[in-house]
A and B are shown apart, each in its own frame.
Chain A
Amino acid sequence: MTAAYAPDVSSPPADSSFVVELPAFSGPLDLLLSLIREEQVDIYDIPIARICEQFVLRIRTLGLNEAAEYLEMAARLLRIKAQMLLPRSDEEQWEDPRAELVRRLLEYQQMREVVDVLERRGEERRNQFARAYLPQAPAAPQAPLALSLSELLSAVDRVLRAARQPNIHEVVPRAIDIPGAITVIRSVLALRARILWTEIVERTAEPWQILSTLLGLLELAKLGEVRVSQPKPFANVEISRDAASEAA
């Protein structure tokens, strides 16, 4: 494979597929206009065969093969050329196939004249500065940090003094004892078929104890061991052994 593939380094870049020298012309109309000027022909009577030939030739030499717009124009020229070759049956009715192209060329030419005006005026204006043209001055850099040792030490002192009495709040974990509460409820229920909430929660009970009992009770209810009922809102909660589970 290496033997078969011998890149010819010395070959000109002519066959390189991407040689687009666009800066010379700003488009196919521009190229066409410059050809018309070079060939010194009348724009209202373009010798289409000659111009078309030149155009295609120029595309080739400029390496514009990749530029679709130029190819499209070349195709258009060839079509007009073909149309011109068709015999004219009626001279009166005959429409010049070049008319549309001429219209576009004139329009483009007119625009180029405006470009000249704009270019000239823009160049004049470029040479004058308005007051506010100056770019925003960059923000002044911050002054270097000025700090004496005594200032630093007093700052450290202040920090240490503030840290001397730290206000640390100690968090004490309070275990919620659900298994314990369940044992208590079970044992009470073993003795009595029906008990009241106020009977298993002491009046002096701490919140965590009440919470434990409540969670234990809910757990037992979920397991189906007890039935919990309340005759009316805010009334005392009645706890009884679940008849169904008892039967089983």
Chain B
Amino acid sequence: MTPLAKLLEAALFASARPIASDELAVLDPDASRAELQSALDELREHYDVDGHGVELVEIGGGWQILTRAEYTEAIERAQLAARPARLSGAALETLAIIAYRQPISRADIEEIRGVAVGGVLKTLHERGLIDVVGRAEGLGRPLLYGTTPVFLEHFALRHLEELPRADELAIALRVQRPEPEPVAAAEPAE
């Protein structure tokens, strides 16, 4: 391995969080973007080709060394690490809405979900998946919520754009009608 790849490996090993590209650049001010990228590629290939128990993953706006999934059970059985608890359906629904509509107020989330979300928001906030990102104008100036880098990490996303775009979502119910048309009646006559 090249010295730069080794340096990155050491930094990734030492870091508690995914390291962003900017932070990697600080490690070696002389290295160019391209050199850093090729060193990352080298490290990833090193793990993949030579057969390692860990892999290099691009996640949450940075890079992180993760254990390979096939060893999870053994590691957990030995009680060396524990998988985080799964999120409830209500929590996932709320997160999905926030991820797409951020910044969004509680009332708007409840409008989409059709149920109260106060408790769910508290849980998500405690787990660091969402944060208050501002206040809306208007009555009561409600708090606005947005997702955090931990959210990206939790769902192995590189960035928010990796979520399917709204127009890419295949609405399952559309299969009822082969050629979906906008609801004619919903549009006021012009």
Contact = CB atoms under 8 A, between A and B. Distances in A.
Interface stretch (B34-42, B95-103, B138-146): B95-103
Given A113-B171, A121-B156, A134-B81, A44 B177 contact: yes
A111 B66 CA distance: 29
Contacts of B180: 44
B15 interface: yes
B57 interface: yes
B154 A115 contact: no
A215 interface: no
B105 interface: no
A70 to B, nearest CB: 9
A41 B80 CA distance: 51
Contacts of A28: 114-115
Nearest to A72: B114
Given A29-B114, A69-B114, A106 B157 contact: no
Contact of B93 (A26, A37, A43, A102): A26
A114 B174 CA distance: 16
A125 interface: yes
B136 interface: no
B51 interface: no
A45 to B, nearest CB: 8
B81 A129 contact: yes
Residues of A contacting B: mostly: helix
Contact of A121 (B15, B93, B155): B155
Interface residues on A, range: 35 or more
Contacts of B49: none
Given A43-B173, A128-B67, A107 B84 contact: no
B112 A118 contact: no
Given A110-B171, A128-B66, A27 B185 contact: no
Given A104-B114, A131-B65, A96 B154 contact: no
Nearest to B70: A127
Given A93-B189, A99-B183, A112 B114 contact: no
Given A69-B115, A126-B84, A130-B64, 8 more contacts: A99-B185, A102-B183, A111-B96, A111-B100, A114-B163, A118-B99, A122-B154, A129-B67
